[in-house]
Structure formats: structure tokens, C-alpha cells
């Protein structure tokens, strides 16, 4: 008799456990406010690490009664998420790969919303003497010293197929080197971090090495870094950010309406002003420039910076 009661109690407990378990998983599926739309964005780390997107998404959420979910990854990974249809919007900075992505039909409605510049940063002592050089000359000098075995000269690469990594490869190419044979794996002087911009800057700081960074992330991290800007001039250093939506023809259940809202939001006058002034009070200079004012300078069409997507 007692055994039977015990068994009954056990059964009830298992049933309770099951119920608890089930409610445990169903809860995350159903948002508290069902009215709210969710917008999933895969972004390059520089827009996230500078906290620009935190600021903008807060405004957007208020205006559109939406919830913005941001996954921060390098441009390469963000594009991969886009190709798999795992997000609604991409925010990236790698024109060449964006073009391929659009041509393959994965993306549509690209709009350019901001730009700034890449810089080469390094230790104040500047062992490779690159200060004030053109980017290509600076890379050549770092490689030369590094190959010669100067232990103080190290270049830390993002090494993660990000937009910044793409730019770095473009500079090596422009300097006349074959990236995979002349640079990658050519010696201890060239080290691939395989991580985001902020983490790469921290690593560069620890090693007192050189790296290529976007100016926004560098300024946001500057307070913690013992690194100075050594090269900041050269056309190749231009860094253009765009937003585009994943093509609803490829993935029909993508949230296309809210994705378009976001893109239009990014090129709206208010947000363009917000971008241009972001960080000025904290860092004494803007982290990003609004694309609308300078579309000619950054080599895009007027339509790409002003035409709302329909």
C-alpha cells in the first residue's frame, strides 16, 4: 500500500516536471507583447562595438513598436547569416562582397548610410618608421622589417574575413604583394587574431604591434590603448557602411516590411544627423560621417544615399 502511494507521488512529480519543462521552452517562443515585430540584424563589429547601433535601435524601437535583435559578427560571417536567411537586414562594409551578394540575388535594396576611414595604428615608438607614409608604403615597411626578423615589428590582422580584413588584403594587393603567399604565414611578424575589431585592438595593444582599424572602433577604445594613429591618409582607406535587406524572393517569410523601415530609417535626415554627431561629445570628433552629405566623395550614387526603399 505504502509503495503504491510512493509510486503515485513519483508519477505526479514527473508529470509536474514535464509541465514545468514544457512551459520552460514555450515561453521564449511567445514574446510578451505579440504586437511587437522582430527585426534581426547581422552587423559588422565596428558598428556594434562603438555603441552606435545601441543608440539607433533604441530610437527605432520607440518609433516602430519593434524589437531589434542584433547579432554582431564580422562582415564575412554576417554575409553568411544573410545567405542562409537567418537575419532580415545586413549592415556591412565590403563593397566588393556586397556586390557579389546582391548579384547572386541574396540581397536587395542597398543603401549607404555612413562612412569613415581606416587608420593604421601602432606603438608610439614606431619601430618600422611608418608615420605619415602612404598606406601601401607603410605595409611594405612593416613587412620588410618583420621579414628581416626585427622582433619589435608585428602586424596583427583581423584574420576573420571581415570587412576590415578585406580592406587589409586590398592594401597588400595594392602594395604589390600576393596576400596568401607573400604575407599570410610568411613569418612570426604577421599574426591573425581571428576576432572582432575591439578584441584585435586589445591584442595589438598587448603586443605593442601594428594593425589596421576603422577609426570609430579605435576612438571608442582609445582610452584603454597605448597605441597611436600613424597612417590616416590615402584614398584606399575609405570605409563605407551600407544596410541592405535579405531578398524576400529568396526567403519569402523574411520580415520585409520592418527591414525596409529600418533601411529608410538609416537614411532619414534625423538619423543621418544622429550618425554625424554620434560620439562628438565623448571623443571630441565624430566616429562616423553621414553618407548623405558626401555621396560624390565616397563614390556612390545619390539614389543610394537618399532614395527610400519601397
Partner 1 sequence: MYEIIEGFLEAVELIITLDPDVMAISARSVIISFAATIFATMIAVPLGAAINFGTFRGKKSLINLIQTLYALPTVIVGLLIFLLISRVGPFGFMRLLFTPTAMIIAQTVLVLPIMTGLTISALSGVDPVIRDTLHSLGATRLQFLVNIMKEARFAILATVAVGFGRAISEVGAAILVGGNIMASSFMSSTRVLTTAISLETSMGNIPKSIALGIILLVIALGVNLIITTIQHR
Name the site residues for partner 1 (rule: CB under 8 A).
3, 6-7, 10, 17-18, 20-21, 24-25, 27-29, 31-33, 36, 38, 40, 49, 58, 61, 67-72, 84-86, 195-196, 198-199, 202, 221, 224, 251, 253
Q: Which three cell numbers stand for residue 50?
A: 562603438
**Least distance to partner 1 from the beta carbon of 283, Å?**
15
Only one residue has cell 558598428, namely 47
**Least distance to partner 1 from the beta carbon of 262, Å?**
14
**Least distance to partner 1 from the beta carbon of 261, Å?**
16
**Least distance to partner 1 from the beta carbon of 61, Å?**
6
**Least distance to partner 1 from the beta carbon of 188, Å?**
23
**Least distance to partner 1 from the beta carbon of 122, Å?**
18
Cβ–Cβ < 8 Å for 70, 262: no
Nearer to partner 1, 1 or 3 (CB): 3
CA triple 175-120-92, angle to 5 deg: 90
Nearer to partner 1, 18 or 280 (CB): 18
Nearer to partner 1, 254 or 271 (CB): 254
Question: Which is nearest to 46 in space by CA: 108, 109, 115, 124?
Answer: 115
Nearer to partner 1, 72 or 256 (CB): 72
Nearer to partner 1, 199 or 298 (CB): 199
Nearer to partner 1, 29 or 188 (CB): 29
Say how far apart CA 88 and CA 147 lie, in whole Å: 44
Amino acid at each position: 500500500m505504502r509503495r503504491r502511494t510512493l509510486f503515485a507521488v513519483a508519477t505526479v512529480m514527473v508529470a509536474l516536471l514535464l509541465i514545468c519543462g514544457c512551459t520552460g521552452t514555450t515561453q521564449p517562443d511567445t514574446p510578451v507583447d505579440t504586437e511587437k515585430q522582430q527585426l534581426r540584424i547581422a552587423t559588422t563589429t565596428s558598428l556594434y562595438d562603438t555603441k552606435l547601433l545601441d543608440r539607433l535601435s533604441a530610437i527605432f524601437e520607440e518609433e516602430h513598436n519593434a524589437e531589434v535583435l542584433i547579432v554582431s559578427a564580422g562582415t564575412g560571417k554576417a554575409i553568411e547569416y544573410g545567405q542562409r536567411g537567418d537575419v532580415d537586414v545586413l549592415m556591412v562594409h565590403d563593397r566588393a562582397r556586397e556586390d557579389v551578394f546582391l548579384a547572386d540575388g541574396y540581397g536587395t535594396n542597398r543603401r549607404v548610410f555612413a562612412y569613415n576611414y581606416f587608420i593604421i595604428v601602432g606603438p608610439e615608438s614606431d619601430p618600422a618608421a611608418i608615420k605619415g607614409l602612404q598606406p601601401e608604403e607603410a605595409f611594405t615597411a612593416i613587412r620588410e622589417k618583420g621579414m628581416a626578423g626585427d622582433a619589435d615589428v608585428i602586424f596583427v590582422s583581423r584574420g576573420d574575413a571581415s570587412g576590415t580584413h578585406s580592406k587589409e588584403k586590398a592594401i597588400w594587393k595594392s602594395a604589390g604583394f600576393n596576400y596568401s603567399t607573400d604575407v599570410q604565414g610568411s613569418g612570426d611578424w604577421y599574426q591573425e587574431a581571428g576576432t572582432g575589431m575591439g578584441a584585435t585592438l586589445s591584442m595589438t595593444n598587448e603586443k605593442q604591434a601594428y594593425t589596421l582599424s576603422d577609426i570609430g572602433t579605435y576612438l571608442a577604445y582609445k582610452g584603454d590603448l597605448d597605441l597611436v594613429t600613424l597612417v590616416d591618409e590615402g584614398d584606399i582607406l575609405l570605409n563605407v557602411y551600407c544596410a541592405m535587406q535579405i531578398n524576400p524572393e529568396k526567403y519569402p517569410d523574411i520580415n520585409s516590411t520592418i527591414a525596409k523601415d529600418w533601411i529608410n530609417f538609416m537614411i532619414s535626415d534625423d538619423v543621418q544627423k544622429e550618425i554625424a554627431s554620434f560620439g562628438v561629445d565623448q571623443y571630441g570628433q565624430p566616429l562616423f560621417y553621414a553618407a548623405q552629405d558626401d555621396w560624390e566623395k565616397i563614390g556612390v550614387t545619390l539614389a543610394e544615399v537618399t532614395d527610400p526603399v519601397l
